[in-house]
Amino acid sequence: MVNVNRKGSLKLAAGAVAALLVASLAVATPAAAAPSAEKVTHVSSLADYMRARAAGTAADVVTLVYGSVHSRGPNGQESHVLDVKNWGTADRSVVHLWEYRTSGNVDNQRWDLLDAGTSGGDPLVALSDRNSTNKCLDESRDHQAGNGTAVYIYECHFAANQLWRLQPHPLGGGYVWIRNLYDGRCLDVRQYNYTNGATIQVWDCHGNWNQAWA
C-alpha cells in the first residue's frame, strides 16, 4: 500500500552535543550529523520526476508544477491534457483529453504522482486526481484486458491496474510512456484525435506521438 502524505517534510538528523569533565579527563563532543537532502515535492514534468526518483530525492507524493499530464500532440504543442470529464468524482468517471486551462476550477486537470516503488528499474506511480478525494487513474477491469480498454478514475486501491510505469518514449525530448503494470499497455489517445473530448485508452506501446506524455 502506498503511504499518501501530501505534506512533504524535511528530515534533519539530530546531533547531540556533550561535554563531560571527570577529574582531569575531557570527553570530546561527537560531530553532528549532516542534515539529509530536502525532498523534491514539485516537478515541472514527468521527465523531471523520473530524474528525481533516480536520484532518490523525490518525496512520496509529488505535485506537477503546472498540475497536468500533457499529451505531446501531433506537432509537439502540448496544448491538451488528461481531464476528468465534467469534474466527475464518482468511481468510473471518464478521463479524456481537453485543452489545458489556467482559470476557473482546474482541479479536474490536476494530478499528483504517488510513489509506488519500481518495476524493472523504472519508477512506478499512481496518479491521483486532485478534484476528488482518494481517486486514482485506473485501467478498467470491467472487461477482459486488451487494446482499447478504457481508463477512468476509481477509488485508490493500488492494485496493478492503478499502477503506471514511467519509461522514456522513443521520440525522446523528455517524453514518457505511461505504461500500465497490469497488462503492460500504454496510455494512448484514441485514433490520434487531438481535440477536446478525445478518448483516452490503453494500447500496445509504440513510438507515435499519441502515447507521448510530458
| Contact of 19 with 29, CB cutoff 8 Å | yes
| Cα 195 from Cα 109, distance rounded (Å) | 15
Convert the pLDDT of each residue in 135-154 to its tens digit: 999 999 998 889 999 999 99
Convert the pLDDT of each residue in 14-44 to its tens digit: 233 223 222 332 333 444 444 456 899 999 9
65 pLDDT band, cuts 50/70/90, is: confident
pLDDT at 66: 78
Q: Where are the domains of the chain?
A: 46-211
CATH fold for domain 46-211: Trefoil (Acidic Fibroblast Growth Factor, subunit A) (2.80.10)
Convert the pLDDT of each residue in 38-54 to its tens digit: 899 999 999 999 999 99
Which residue shows C-alpha cell 504543442?
A: 77
**SS3 for 48?**
helix
Examine the pLDDT at 64 and tell me if it is beyond 70.
yes
Q: What letters, b where the CB count within 10 A reaches 16 and e where it falls short, cover 143-162?
A: eeeeeebbbbbbebeeeebb
| Contact of 41 with 63, CB cutoff 8 Å | yes
pLDDT at 183: 97
Convert the pLDDT of each residue in 93-138 to its tens digit: 999 999 999 999 999 999 999 999 999 999 999 999 999 999 999 9
DSSP 121-190: TEEEEEEEETTSSSEEEEE--SS---TT-BEEEEE----GGG-EEEEE-TT-TT-EEEEETTT-PEEEEG
